[in-house]
Structure 1
Amino acid sequence: MEQNLSLYHIFNTVAEAGNISHAAKELYISQPAISKAVTRLEQNLETKLFVRSSRGVTLTDSGKMLYEQTNAAFKHLKQAEDTIKKNKKLGTGSLKIGVSTTLCKYVLMPYLEKFIKLHPHVKISISCQSTYQTLNLIQNHKVDIGLVGESGRLENLVFAPIGMVEDGFVATHDYLKNLKKRHPEAASNPFEYANLMLLDQHNVSRRYIDEYIRGNELSTGQMLTGHILEVSSMDLLIEFAKIGLGIACVITDFVKKELKEGSLTTIPLSLPIQKREIGFTYLREYTANDALEAFISFCRKISTP
């Protein structure tokens, strides 16, 4: 079939032109080369395709049947070429992004807003779940790229950091004041008596905090002896903290407004929690995708100081 493709192209051009000399001019090859190609195709198919005369060529019944198919095939190929060129010009395509709800709201949204203005024809889908689930989706080719916190599980993946985040414990002034009224000892260590609100143990942020607690002699036992409320969303942690439900461990970058206006306050720690990186990650050997290429290039540019 591959050997015959050029022959079919020549045949189709001759059939449309109705004349070998006209077809030769259109294809920029000699008339003898055209005649030789037609003869070869006829030999391959073991049938006569044209009746030759001084006025040109006429299709035989077999030639007519073959022309119906080649004409349709080359029209489809032309349409495909035109569509590809149009898509390339418009910058169309699809992009699947995996991200946690929190990072989507506070970090990804500004990136998407700017990217969409530059590439309005790209179809974008967002899959919101934990970092570990996002990494699995990338490995299984279910999403193209993910926005995650650095987790150490980046085999076969490229991690492109875009910034640092800092974890901390926050609560309302009223909650802390009432906690001290109930437990005067809470003035020196509120964690022992507070309702401590954390992300569930499947979350990367929670595991990072657990490692911090275990790795530092930060009254570890006392911090974990109070009542612990686990939730799956940092947004819920922030909202629970704002209504005075307890002390929440959150990414403090995401509550700057609340901290500035005083609706929340940070709980001082004797040993600060080290900042950690967040960034986009994708397969080191990913499937060619114009939209993904454009997004990676865009993220690199926007993340460059």
Structure 2
Amino acid sequence: MDQMLTVFVAVAERGNFTRAAEEMHMTQPAVSQYIQTLERTLGTKLLDRSNKYVRLNKAGEIVYHHAREILGLYTRMQGLVDDLMHTASGNLNIGASYTFGEYVLPRLIAHLRKQFPRIQPSITIGNTKEIAELVAGHELDLGVVEGEFSHEKLEIGHLAEDSMVVIVSAGHPLSRQARWTVKDLSEETWIIREKGSGTREAAEKMFAEFQFYPASIMEFGSTQIIKESVEAGIGISLLSSWAIRKELSLGTLRTIQIEGLPFVRKFSVIKQAAPFQTKAMEIFMEILRDHAAQTENEGSR
């Protein structure tokens, strides 16, 4: 059954029997046979087919949704059994929200790979809701997300805190001032993330707390572009301290100290509420905890 489901998922996602066959190193007739056998087993057609397309019908959508979850559970089961006989190895599917995934996770993965080269990590970046649903659907082993929330299928634990700081270019007049006023901030061009971003949320919260809204705003969809724009003197911004470590060490960006800042965002780790977990997952959870403890120690100095 697992092979039938694997073939079915490949056809559904590629929308084409030929492409699915090529990906799975099978012949097209063999792929067609698996689909026909699955449809006979379930007693219904799952795909609408024509010369131009292959699409899921209503029954197919139900089977596709559950097939992905079943295959995720099957892979997890295999990993747990393998762990009884071997050292930590296998796939580890990690999800993360943007800031943690882009600026913290790569260092942790490098550490993991150095110590345990047989573990094969993959990373999915998305917003908190997207990552939570993928973990709940067994498509990811664990996730690191912003904020605190509840989910009936997930085990959620506090991981770390992230400071949001105001940044300016090294040559900006504000970087040389001892004091700043709300008027100073309101007159600057602010470069902020798009709506729906956690970083944008923090900026909006800051504007509300200080009771001002910038006269000039530029909205960019990438933290990297915002950093480079601030470096170039286009404007100022509010970003995660995790995201600007390199620029601070190089001296291309500076933070300005303002009463009431930095804002603190909480990050949580989410995983299936299951009695067993793979060695690979146990090891990575330990790496996450060590990083969180180190970050907390650095913040208290």
For the criterion TM > 0.5, the same-fold answer is yes
1:265-297 alpha-carbon deviations (Å, 9 max, x no partner): 224423223323334222334885443234224
Say whether the 8 Å CA contact 2:168–2:256 is kept in structure 1: yes
Q: 1:106 to 1:286 in 2, by over 3 A?
A: farther
Query: How far did residue 127 of structure 1 move?
Result: 0.9
| Whole-angstrom distance in 2 between the partners of 1:233 and 1:138 | 25
Query: How far did residue 233 of structure 1 move?
Result: 2.4
Aligned to 2:244, what secondary structure does the other structure show?
helix
Say whether the 8 Å CA contact 2:159–2:292 is kept in structure 1: yes
Task: List aligned pairs for 1:1-305, cutoff 5 A.
Answer: 88-149=85-146, 151-156=147-152, 157-176=154-173, 189-214=183-208, 216=209, 218=210, 220=211, 222=212, 224-285=213-274, 288-300=277-289, 303-304=292-293
| Whole-angstrom distance in 1 between the partners of 2:83 and 2:128 | 36
Query: How far did residue 229 of structure 1 move?
Result: 1.9
Name the aligned partner's letter for residue 263 of structure 1: T
Name the aligned partner's letter for residue 187 of structure 2: Y
Query: How far did residue 166 of structure 1 move?
Result: 0.8
Name the aligned partner's letter for residue 243 of structure 2: F
Say whether the 8 Å CA contact 1:163–1:278 is kept in structure 2: yes
Say whether the 8 Å CA contact 2:100–2:144 is kept in structure 1: yes
Name the aligned partner's letter for residue 135 of structure 1: A
| Whole-angstrom distance in 2 between the partners of 1:303 and 1:264 | 25
Aligned to 2:266, what secondary structure does the other structure show?
strand
Q: 1:250 to 1:86 in 2, by over 3 A?
A: closer
Say whether the 8 Å CA contact 2:95–2:125 is kept in structure 1: yes
> Identity percentage over the alignment?
19
Please name the residue that 1:28 is paired with: none
Query: How far did residue 243 of structure 1 move?
Result: 1.4
Say whether the 8 Å CA contact 2:92–2:120 is kept in structure 1: yes
How many residue pairs were aligned?
211
| Whole-angstrom distance in 1 between the partners of 2:198 and 2:275 | 24
Name the aligned partner's letter for residue 99 of structure 1: A
Show structure 2 runs of 5+ residues with no match. Answer: 1-77, 295-301
Query: How far did residue 251 of structure 1 move?
Result: 1.1
Say whether the 8 Å CA contact 1:168–1:252 is kept in structure 2: yes
Aligned to 1:189, what secondary structure does the other structure show?
helix
Say whether the 8 Å CA contact 1:212–1:273 is kept in structure 2: no
Q: 1:292 to 1:242 in 2, by over 3 A?
A: same
| Whole-angstrom distance in 1 between the partners of 2:83 and 2:270 | 29
Say whether the 8 Å CA contact 1:102–1:233 is kept in structure 2: no
Name the aligned partner's letter for residue 124 of structure 1: P
Name the aligned partner's letter for residue 155 of structure 1: H
Aligned to 1:266, what secondary structure does the other structure show?
strand
1:175-230 alpha-carbon deviations (Å, 9 max, x no partner): 447xx9xxxxx97623322221112221123223323433x2x1x2x3x2422222
| Whole-angstrom distance in 2 between the partners of 1:228 and 1:251 | 19
Q: 1:295 to 1:169 in 2, by over 3 A?
A: same
Show structure 1 runs of 5+ residues with no match. Answer: 1-80, 181-185
Query: How far did residue 126 of structure 1 move?
Result: 0.8
| Whole-angstrom distance in 2 between the partners of 1:169 and 1:245 | 14
**C-alpha RMSD of the superposition:** 3.3
TM-score normalised over the length of structure 1: 0.58
Query: How far did residue 99 of structure 1 move?
Result: 1.7
Q: 1:282 to 1:85 in 2, by over 3 A?
A: closer
Say whether the 8 Å CA contact 1:168–1:249 is kept in structure 2: yes
| Whole-angstrom distance in 1 between the partners of 2:291 and 2:259 | 36
Larger Rg: 1
Query: How far did residue 247 of structure 1 move?
Result: 0.8
TM-score normalised over the length of structure 2: 0.59
